[in-house]
Amino acid sequence: MSKFWTLLTHLHSGAGPLIMLLYPLYASVMAIESPTKDDDEQWLAYWILYSFLTLSEMLLQPLLEWIPIWYTVKLLLVSWLVLPQFRGAAFIYERFVRDKIRKYAVKHHKVVNAKGKIK
C-alpha cells in the first residue's frame, strides 16, 4: 500500500506543473498561431486568472498551509480553467473579471484625463 501511495503522490505532484503550466504554454502558442480569436481569449483569460490565483496564494500561504486538500482543490480548479471542453477561464473572465477591469480602467482613464496626461 505504501508503494501505491508513493506513486499516487508522485503522479499528483507531476500533474500540477503539467496541467497548470506545460499544457497552457503549448495551447497558448497554438492559439497565437491559429487564425481565430476565440482561443486567444481563452488563453489570455487563463494567464490572467492563473496569475491572480498565484498572487493570492502567495499572500494567503500561512492560511492555506492549514488546509490539507488545498493543492488538490487548486489542481481541480485549474483543470476546469484549462480543459477546452469547459472553457472555464473564458467563462470566469467574461462573467466576473471583465466588468471589474472595465470599471477600473474607466475610473483610471478619467483621473488621467483630468490631469491632462492622456487624451
Domain range summary for the chain, segments of one domain joined by +: 2-115
State residue 16's pLDDT score: 84
Nearest-angstrom CA–CA distance, 74 and 57: 10
Q: How far is CA 50 from the centre of its chain?
A: 2
Q: In this model, does residue 119 exceed pLDDT 50? A: no
Q: Which residue has the higher pLDDT, 75 or 2?
A: 75
**pTM for the whole thing?**
0.77
Q: In this model, does residue 45 exceed pLDDT 60? A: yes
Residues ≥6 apart with Cβ < 8 Å to 29: none
Q: In this model, does residue 114 exceed pLDDT 70? A: no
Q: Cell numbers at residue 25, please?
A: 504554454
Q: How confident is the model at residue 111 (pLDDT cuts 50, 70, 90)?
A: low
Q: In this model, does residue 106 exceed pLDDT 50? A: yes
User: H helices of the chain, where?
Assistant: 2-17, 23-33, 38-59, 61-64, 70-82, 88-92, 98-115
| φ, ψ dihedrals at 83, nearest 5° | -60, 125
**What integer is the mean pLDDT of 94-99?**
90
